[in-house]
Structure 1
Amino acid sequence: MGRLNGGTNEGKQHFSHQHVLKQIVNPTETLTCNACEKPNNSNKPFYGCNTCQYFLHENCFNAPRILNHSSHPLHPLTLHQIPSYASGSYICNACGSVGNGFCYNCVDCDFDIHLQCASCPSSILVDKLPHQLEIQYGYPEDSEYVCDICSVMMNNDNWFYYCGGCDFASHLNCAIISPEVGVFPKQQRPNPNSNPSRNSHVNAAVEMINSVNDDHDRFIAAQIAAQIDARGRRAMLDLI
C-alpha cells in the first residue's frame, strides 16, 4: 500500500473520521479518496486509516470547513462529510453531476458543490486559444451555449468557461481534463472606506492569484494582475 509516515507525529485527526489518519507516502496501489471519490493518480501523499480502509487526498484532508465562494455570495458554504439529503447524494450546482462524497453546502439555499468544483480556477488557458477562459457562474437571459470542446449543448444551470472575444464556451470538465482539489478561491469583500473602482480591480487580481494551481498559471496571473493594477491607476488619474 505504501510507507506510513514515521516520526513522533503518529497522524492527524480529521473531523470526518473517528480514528487518527496516518500519512501514506508513495502509495503503491490505487486508493480512492472518500472525500472527492477520485483515485490517486500521482505520487501525492494520502492520509488513511488502514483498519477502516478510509483514505483522503492530502488536499482534501486540508480543505477548509467554511468557504466563502464567489458563486454563492449570500452565505458561506460548509463542508459536509455526508450529503444532508435523504437520498444520501446530491446534484452539484457547478457541474450538474451526482455526488456521494464530501460537498460544500448552503443549507438555506439547497446549494451543493463538489470539492473539486469549489477549487476550479477562475481563469484558465486552453491550447490553441489566444485568450483565457473565464469561469461563469450563470448564463445571460435567453442564451444557450454548445461546448466547443465536446460539441454537446450545455445545461444553463451549471457553471462553464467562456471567452467573449473568441465566443468559445466549455464545460468545466472539458476545459479541466482532471479536476483536482487544490486552491480554494475566496470571495473578496470590498472595503467601504476605500475607492470602489480600485477595489474591483484589486479584488479581481487577488481572486485570480488565489485561484491558480501551478507555476505557469502563477506567472500568467502575475502579468494579468499587473495589467489590472495599471488600468486601475489610470482610471484614478482620469477621475482626478
Structure 2
Amino acid sequence: MHSLAMLVDLSSRRRECIFLPKVIKITRHSHYLSHTLCIPDGNLICKICRNHRIKLKPGYGGYTCIDNSCDYVAHSVCATLKEVWDGRDHHIEEHEEDSNSEADLAALVDINGKSMRHFSHDHDLLVSDVERGEKEDGYVCQACILPIEFGRFLACKQCDFALHEACGSLPRKMENSLHPHSLILQIDMMNIEEGFFTCSVCLRESCGFMYQCSQKDCGFQMDVICASFADPLNHIAHPPHLLFYTFSNFEYSCMGCDQRSKNVVHCPTCYFPLDFKCVTLPRLVKYKHDVHPLTLYCDKSNTRFENLSWCEICEEKINVEMLYYICHDCITTLHIGCMIGKYPYLKPSHRIKVDGLTIQITTNSSVSRSICHTCHRICQDKLVFMISGKDVVVRDFADINIV
C-alpha cells in the first residue's frame, strides 16, 4: 500500500509538471521566464526561495530568464506560487506593448530643469534642497506623510504641497516583488470612505498615496514607503549580509522590534528576519533637542551603549539589541515610537472614519496634553484621535472600538 501511494503521488507530480506554463512573468524580475526541462548548469540557487540547501540540479527542470545574459533561475514550484505568479501564460511579444503603455504613465514631468509637474497637483513644483536651505523647515511629504528633513524635494510655489523627490518620482503603474499583480498609484484619499487605508505589507495605517492592485477582485494595497522597497537590500541592523524578501506562512520574530510577522526580509546565510515596519523606518531623523541627525541603529553585541541607553523623551531604558535612534556625537538615544510616533503615516488635521465614527486626527503638541478616555492618563504619542460628537480623546485605534 505504501509503494502504491508513492506511485500515485509521483504520477500526480508528473502531471503537474507536464502542465506547467511555458512562459511566465513575475513581478520579482524584469524579464520573462521560460520553463525548461533541463537546467544547463547545475548547483544554481533559486532566486525566489534563496535556499542554499535545495539548489537547482543539472538535468532537472526549472525556470530561466529569456535573456541569455541574465542568470536568473527559479524552482518550478517557487516560480508558480500564487504569491509570486499571477497565474497567466504569457507571450514574449507582450513585453514591448507593456513597455510602451508604461511610458505614458510618468508621474513626474520636468518642465525646465528647476520646476516639475506632478499628476497629483495642479501647480508647478520647485526643485529644492534641505541641505542648501532653499526652503524653510516644516514641510510634510503628501505621498508618505513623513516630514521632509533631508535631501532634495519638490515644493509648490503657491501652497504648502510638497513631495520627497523619491516619492514624487515613483511611477503611476509599477510591478513590485511584494505582490504578483501590477499596482496602480492612487492619490486621493477622498475616494476612500474611511479617509485612510491599512498597508497590506507593513500593516500600518496611512493617509498618503496608495498603490492598489490592478485586479478588481484583489484587495491588496500598499503605501509608498513599502512600494519603494528594493530586493535585496542592505540594512543597518544586519550589515554583514544582504537581506532578501521571501514569502512564508511561518511567523518570524523580528530582530528589530521582537514582534511576530509573516512579512519579513531575511538573510539566507544566517537567521536574521526583519519585518516591514522595521525595514521601512527612516534611516535618519531630526530631533529638536539635538543639532545632529539621529541614525537608526542597533547593537547586537550589546557592548557600546549598554549603560547609556535611556530614551530622552520617555526616560525609560532602551533595549540596545533592538532598533532605536541615536546621535553618535552626543549619544542622544530615543525609542523608535517616541521619535516618530505610533502612527507616523497618518496626517494631522485629517478626518477619518472608524467603525462608523468620525475621527479628527490631531497633533499632541500643546502645553496641556489630552487625557486618554480609556486609560485616563496623559497621552504621550505625537497624535491623538478626537471622536466627533462625543468630546472624547483616545490615543489608539483599538481604543476607538471600546468607547
TM-score greater than 0.5 by the shorter chain: yes
1:81 and 2:187 are equivalent in the alignment? yes
CA deviations 1:2-28 (Å, max 9, x no partner) are: xxxxx9667222111112222234333
Partner Cα distance (1:125, 1:176) in 2: 12
Partner Cα distance (2:234, 2:280) in 1: 10
Please show how residues 1-240 of structure 1 align to structure 2 within 5 Å. Answer: 11-25=115-129, 26-42=134-150, 44-73=151-180, 75-83=181-189, 84-107=191-214, 108=216, 109-126=218-235, 127=237, 130-136=240-246, 138-140=247-249, 143-154=250-261, 156=262, 159-178=263-282
Partner Cα distance (2:135, 2:119) in 1: 23
What is the aligned-residue RMSD (CA, Å)? 2.5
**Structure 1 pair 152–19 and aligned structure 2 pair: CA distance change class (3 A):** same
**Structure 1 pair 144–51 and aligned structure 2 pair: CA distance change class (3 A):** same
**Structure 1 pair 149–10 and aligned structure 2 pair: CA distance change class (3 A):** closer
> Where does structure 2 lack aligned partners over 5 or more consecutive residues?
1-110, 285-403
Aligned length: 166
- Conservation of the 8 A alpha-carbon contact between 1:93 and 1:113: yes
Return the index of the structure with the highest Cα Rg.
2
**Structure 1 pair 146–50 and aligned structure 2 pair: CA distance change class (3 A):** same
The residue number in structure 2 matching 1:185 is none
CA deviations 1:161-219 (Å, max 9, x no partner) are: 11244222111242454169xxxxxxxxxxxxxxxxxxxxxxxxxxxxxxxxxxxxxxx
CA deviations 1:122-174 (Å, max 9, x no partner) are: 123345564322123x323xx221112221222x3xx3111244222111242
Partner Cα distance (2:183, 2:194) in 1: 20
Partner Cα distance (2:199, 2:239) in 1: 28
Secondary structure in structure 1 of the residue aligned to 2:230: coil
TM-superposed CA distance for 1:77, in Å, is 0.7
- Conservation of the 8 A alpha-carbon contact between 1:82 and 1:100: no
- Conservation of the 8 A alpha-carbon contact between 1:27 and 1:46: no
**Structure 1 pair 167–15 and aligned structure 2 pair: CA distance change class (3 A):** same
Q: Percent identity?
A: 29
Instruction: Using structure 1 for the length normalisation, give the TM-score.
Output: 0.61
